[in-house]
Structure 1
Amino acid sequence: MILVCGIPSETSLARVIEALCRRELPHVVVNQRQVRDLALELRTGSSGLGGRLTGPGFGVDLDDVGGVYLRFMDDRRLPELVGEPEDSPARRSSRVLHDHIGHWAEHAEARVVNRYGAMGSNFSKPFQSQLLREAGFHVPATLITNDPDRVDAFADEHGRLVYKSISGERSIVAALDRSDRERLERIRWCPVQFQAFVDGPNVRVHTVGDEVYATIVDTDAVDYRYASQQAGQPARFSPFTLPDDVAERCVRFAASLGLEVAGLDLKFPSDGRVVCLEVNPSPVFSYFEANTGQPIADAVARLLTGSPATRRHAAPV
């Protein structure tokens, strides 16, 4: 049995559900928006941590679960809890439920995509960069500071800079231009991460177990997710074949973090380096799949069932 946990209309979740249905694989969708109707019983025994999860139309013994796609959103933002006081019974119950499912998944025998513990490096981008460097990737020259003078000196040394959030919170990567330099005094109250701009194409790599799906992104934008705003037109996506050694390095690095599925953002500058900007432990792969036809959701479905990969390094389709 496979548990698919999250909001069923979310695109990556929806594509995995479709893939499981096509394969007629037994699965249960744990719809977060039905939080008021979900119940979890946990118990410990000689076989470890088990229990039973029930919801509208289903009841699952956790010992029977072999795969989990864990893609919960922040339950504090669920529409079903809007208007509830912070300390209301509904909010407290929701938090306990989500915490306990996460704790169970951390210790379950099932294959979990992905355990929360494996996602930890994403909460500190500087720490993640250290791990990437140790794994053999190049990383951009980086400065984290709240001192405008240090930023000026860093820009004098490295030329064009970009800036971004230090944490795992989503932020828009932007180039540091002259008008931003005039606003640098504001960083005295909030340290910011500055990096030397890396030229060359963006390549998003999705690892799914031992499988690799790479996509090259054609855009003039600094942050291709916001290409329409930054460059005036959407980014264009095409399947891309990585060098074998780079593909293997991506797989090994994701595995070293305990990530069954990961999204690595690479750049290939003109000096021949392979630069990794960061690793996303919960990638929205559906956008890349929709634009390239790469069967990433099918690969995730196979992974959840424990089926072997059909290819080590997925070629363009």
Structure 2
Amino acid sequence: MILIVGIPSDGPTRLVIDAAEAAGVEHLVLNQRESHFVDLRVDLRRGAPVDGTLRLRHRDWPLSAFSGIFLRMMEWQELPENRGTPSPDPDGIRRSGLLHDALIQWTEMMPCRVMNRCSAMGSNASKPYQAQIIEQTGFLTPPTLITSDPARVREFLQRYRHVVFKSISGARSIVKTLSDVRLLHLDRVRMLPTQFQAFVPGTNIRVHVTGDEVFATEMRSAAIDYRYPASDGEEVEMAAVTLPEEIETRCLDLSHRLDLPLAGVDLKVTREGEYYCFEVNPMPAYSYFQEGSGQEIAGGIVRYLAGGDPAAGRPMPARQRGEEDGRDC
């Protein structure tokens, strides 16, 4: 059975629920907005597997029943039930906080498959750290400067001519060109270290890894940041593409190194066929790409969470899996 934790109306969560229903995979939805009324008991005994009980909608579910967990939670403090309601329930809010803390700790301990554990998602909090892992897989990364010194930025711009900038943390930011107009406000960089990169011309590709499956989507847009084409007055078209085997293997390797069985990998391929990797999103809003390209990414999520031994080892490209020669994986 799969446990799906999040807000059912959220696009990526909704698609996982729909995919599980379509595949006939048994699943249970823990709606965060019901957190005031959910109980989680975790039993820890030396020499025994982690177990316990999840009480949800007046029924008890043994924790050992879950083969996989899809974890896409918003901050519990931001739930409508915990803020902005006409009559907040102090006891309910306290229970909600305790439940979310317990959920995070439990999913760290459980041996089942989890997409994704919160500890692994922390890698996205530092783009420089993540870039070091990216380079270890063989991907190229663009020349990068992280600084709060305007003079260093001007030197970097003089060297590379076309430069873009973005946040160095996991905070969402829109990638923008360092234009003449923005140079007028360059002194603001003293307030916050910022990441500047040489612009890499080419075609953007978003890759979603789901366990041992890879879904690649080509993004056709003249926008600097294809996620927000309207900010540049542009549009975006999406198309499913097949990656070279070597690039697919690198994406899987990167997902494994970051302990992210669900990963959104941002690539760009140049005219010369070189592949650059910019970052890895640990909680990708894959629904946007599924709806735009027609790829069943949610189906890949469900297949991974419903499948086999979570300790089976490193994911392999689909073309290398056992079904090619009749072996059991």
The TM-score with structure 2 as length reference comes to 0.90
Conserved in 1, the CA contact under 8 Å of 2:36 and 2:93? Answer: no
Partner of 2:152: 150
Misfit runs of 4+, over 6 Å: 84-87
Aligned residue type for 1:242: L
Following superposition, the deviation at residue 234 of structure 1 comes to: 2.7
Q: Report the 3-state secondary structure (helix = DSSP H, G, I; strand = E; otherwise coil) of the residue aligned with 2:97.
A: helix
1:111 and 1:79 map into 2 onto residues whose CA distance is 29
Of residues 166, 174, 177, the one that matches 1:175 is 177
Cα offset, 1:302, TM superposition? 0.8
For the residue of structure 2 that corresponds to 1:225, the secondary structure is coil
Offset at 1:233?
3.7
Paired letter, 2:103: I
Q: Secondary structure at the match of 1:16?
A: helix
Is this contact kept in 2: 1:28–1:58, CA < 8 A? no
Matched-pair contact (CA < 8 Å) for 2:223–2:235: no
Deviation for aligned residue 1:285: 1.0
Q: C-alpha displacement at 1:57, in angstroms?
A: 4.8
Preserved contact between residue 218 and residue 241 of structure 2 (Cα < 8 Å): yes
Q: 2:117 aligns with which of 105, 115, 118?
A: 115
* Aligned 1:57-72 pairs, distance under 5 A: 57-72=58-73
Q: Deviations over 1:7-52 (max 9, x none)?
A: 0011111111011111222111000011111111111123232211
Contact kept? 2:208, 2:286, Cα under 8 Å: yes
Q: How far, CA to CA, are the matches of 2:59 and 2:184 in structure 1? A: 58
2:187 maps to: 185
Partner of 2:271: 270
Q: Return the offset for 1:109.
A: 1.8
Cα offsets for 1:65-112 (capped at 9, x unmatched): 111001111111111111379995443332221111111111102111
In structure 1, distance between residues paired with 2:272 and 2:162? 16
Q: Which of the residues 137, 159, 167 maps onto 1:135?
A: 137
- Tell me which moved more, 47-56 or 176-185: 47-56
**Counterpart Cα distance in 2 of 1:145 and 1:271:** 30
The residue aligned with 1:312 is 318
2:81 is the counterpart of 1:80:
yes
Partner of 1:19: 19
CA distance in 1, matches of 2:10, 2:202: 32
Aligned counterpart, 2:168: 166
Contact residue 143 and residue 198 of structure 2 kept, 8 A = yes
Q: Is the 8 A contact 1:217 1:237 kept in 2?
A: yes
- Would the aligned equivalents of 2:82 and 2:88 in 1 still touch at CA under 8 Å? no
For the Cα contact (< 8 Å) 1:228–1:235, is it kept in 2?
no
1:242-286, Cα deviation, whole Å (9 max, x unpaired): 111000110111011111111100001234321001001111111
Deviations 1:274-312 (A, max 9, x none): 100100111111111111111111111111110699x81
Q: 1:245: which partner in 2?
A: 246
Task: Indicate the residue corresponding to 1:207 in structure 2.
Answer: 209
AA aligned to 1:209 is G
Distance 1:133 1:86 in 2: 48
TM-score by length of 1: 0.93
Which residue in 1 is equivalent to 2:327? none
Amino acid at match of 2:22: R
Look up the equivalent residue of 1:150 and give its one-letter code.
Answer: R
Letter in 1 for 2:318: R
Count of matched residue positions in the alignment of Structure 1 and Structure 2: 312
Q: 1:154 to 1:10 in 2, by over 3 A?
A: same
Question: In structure 2, what residue type is equivalent to 1:234?
Answer: E
The structural deviation recorded for 1:227 is 0.4
Per-residue deviation, residues 94-138 of structure 1 (Å, max 9, x unmatched):
222111111111110211111112212111011000111121111
Alpha-carbon distance in structure 1 between the residues aligned to 2:287 and 2:191: 37
Change in CA separation of 1:120 and 1:86 when aligned onto 2, cut-off 3 Å:
farther
2:223–2:234: 8 Å Cα contact kept in structure 1? Answer: no
CA distance in 2, matches of 1:66, 1:108: 10
